[in-house]
Chain A
Amino acid sequence: MLETALKGSRKYWVWIFFLLAVIGAGFISYLYQFRVGLGVTGMSRDVSWGLYIGQFTFLVGVAASGVMVVLPYYLHNYKAFGRITVLGEFLAIAAVIMCMLFIFVDMGQPLRVLNVILHPSPNSVMFFDMLVLSVYLFLNILVGWTVLGAERKGLPAPSWVKPFIIISIAWAPSIHTVTAFLYAGLPGRHLWLTAIMAARFLASAFSGGPSLLLILALIVRKYTKFDPGKEAIQALSKIITYFMITNVFFLGLEFFTAFYSGIPGHAEPLKYLYTGIEGHGKLVPVMWTSTILAVIALFLLVPPKFRKNERLLVVACIATFLSLWIEKGFGLIVGGFVPNPFERITEYWPTLPETLITLAVWAIGFLVLTILYKIAVSIKEEAVFDKYGQRQVK
Chain B
Amino acid sequence: MSIDRRQFLKIAGASALLGLGGLSTSHLLLRNSLEAAQGLTDPSVITDPKALVAKRWGMVVDMSKFKTEEDYKRVMDACHHIHNVPTIGNPKEEIKWIWKETYEHAFPGQEDKFLSEEIKHLPFLVLCNHCENPPCVRVCPTKATFKRKSDGIVMMDMHRCIGCRFCMAGCPYGARSFNYRDPRPFIDKEKENLEFPTRMKGVVEKCTFCYERLAVGLKPACVEASKGALIFGDLEDTNSEVRRVLSTRYSFRRKPELGTHPSVYYLIG
Contacts and interface: CB of A to CB of B under 8 A. Distances in A.
Size category of the A interface is 35 or more
Interface in A48-74: 48-49
A284 interface: no
Contacts of B162: 107-110, 112-113, 115-116
Contact of B172 (A106, A182, A183, A187): A187
A185 B135 CA distance: 9
A343 interface: yes
A48 B138 contact: no
A45 interface: yes
Interface stretch (A34-42, A88-96, A362-370): A34-42
A275 interface: no
Interface string B136-153: 011111111000000000
Interface in A172-187: 182-183, 185-187
Size category of the B interface is 35 or more
A22 B179 CA distance: 29
B260 interface: yes
Interface in B65-105: 91-94, 101, 104-105
B181 A116 contact: no
A37 B142 contact: no
Interface string B1-45: 000000000000000000000000000110010000000000000
B202 interface: yes
B163 interface: yes
Nearest to A106: B164
A265 interface: yes
Contacts of B135: 186-188
A340 B180 contact: no
A286 interface: no
A43 interface: yes
Given A109-B202, A115-B144, A341-B171, A120 B163 contact: no
Contact of A37 (B28, B105, B161, B182): B182
Contacts of B245: none
Most buried by A among B104, B140, B164, B180: B164
Contacts of A103: 164
B169 interface: yes
A186 to B, nearest CB: 5
B180 A43 contact: yes
B163 A340 contact: no
B164 A39 contact: no
Interface stretch (A123-131, A139-147, A376-384): A123-131
B229 interface: no
16 contacts: A44-B92, A45-B92, A45-B93, A45-B177, A49-B169, A107-B163, A116-B141, A116-B142, A116-B162, A119-B32, A121-B143, A126-B164, A336-B169, A337-B169, A342-B105, A346-B91
Interface of A: 36-39, 43-46, 48-49, 103, 106-110, 112-113, 115-121, 123-127, 130, 182-183, 185-189, 264-265, 336-337, 340-344, 346
> Which 3 interchain pairs have the tightest Cβ spacing?
A108-B163, A188-B172, A108-B202
Given A107-B163, A112-B161, 16 more contacts: A37-B182, A38-B178, A46-B92, A106-B165, A108-B164, A109-B161, A109-B202, A110-B163, A115-B162, A120-B29, A120-B32, A121-B142, A185-B139, A186-B170, A187-B172, A187-B259
